[in-house]
Amino acid sequence: MLTYHTWDGEKPSFPSDNDTKGALDVLRWAYDHYEDDIVYACSFGIEGIVLIDLIAKVRPNAEIVFLDTDLHFPETYETIEKVKQQYPSLRIVMKKPHLTLDEQAEQFGAELWKQNPNKCCELRKIIPLREVLTGVTAWISGLRREQSPTRQHVQYLNKDDKFQSIKVCPLIHWTWKDVWNYVYKHELPYNVLHDRGYPSIGCEPCTSPALDINDLRSGRWAGHGKTECGLHL
């Protein structure tokens, strides 16, 4: 079984608690600047776990929103419960789409994610996030430049025309190795699917183990010519 977060011959070592490649400074600035007018939209993948730990140091009662499509893996919901136990003061909100899965099937056809994944993502992720972001000025995302060519130019602060918002990305300089070093060092809970070959975890029907170890998102929407749900386009 491939585990994507291990590497040969090196022990995890993150430089120091103070060296977070700018992430803590960015978060401190963001929460000082936006106060409660900022929300973290978290997928509870491994970058999300790091960000939650950093956010809890800066704003222990921060609002964390999970776009609950009703289609996530059981292991993802279990991870959320573990995070709730570890950070009881964080406000974790499960944001649901307007349509249940049955209603969506009635209106748009069964298993829409197979026929039209863009429409499915719009209904179950993009519209709900837009509703969340209409109430705030800025949102936080765990994008890293290393993740994909489409993310190479992400800045700490980004004008987000899609959601008419400011997108704050504290982890842009973190590597995959940095992320796991931090998780190991601080013994953070994480989704066990990461140990089963899933470096990037989304909805269950659209996520498979990564096909290419050099492309951490290669297990997302495999075979559909789609690499992003649309939140970051």
Question: Was 203 annotated as part of a binding site?
Answer: yes
Size of the site for ligand SF4 (CB under 6 A): 13
**Residue 51 or 120 with smaller CB distance to ligand SF4:** 120
Strand partners, 65: 41, 93
**Residue 58 or 120 with smaller CB distance to ligand SF4:** 120
CA 40, CA 51: separation in Å to the nearest integer? 9
Q: Minimum distance between the CB of residue 94 and ligand SF4, rounded to whole angstroms?
A: 15
Please tell me whether residue 169 binds ligand SF4 under the rule CB under 6 A: no
Q: Which of 205, 149, 139, 213 is nearest to 176 (CA)?
A: 213
Q: Considering only residues 42, 51, 52, 121, which one is a binding residue for ligand SF4 as defined by CB under 6 A?
A: 121
Q: Which of 136, 143, 138, 200 is nearest to 169 (CA)?
A: 143
Q: Which of 232, 229, 96, 122 is nearest to 167 (CA)?
A: 232
Please tell me whether residue 229 binds ligand SF4 under the rule CB under 6 A: yes
229 counts as catalytic: yes
Please tell me whether residue 124 binds ligand SF4 under the rule CB under 6 A: yes
Q: Considering only residues 205, 208, 227, 228, which one is a binding residue for ligand SF4 as defined by CB under 6 A?
A: 205
CA 22, CA 152: separation in Å to the nearest integer? 17
112, 171, 193, 229: the active-site residue = 229
Strand order in the sheet with 165-168: 91-95, 63-67, 38-41, 138-140, 165-168, 157-160
Q: Considering only residues 48, 128, 199, 202, which one is a binding residue for ligand SF4 as defined by CB under 6 A?
A: 202
Site for ligand SF4 in 35-74 (CB under 6 A): 69, 71
Q: Which residues are catalytic?
A: 229
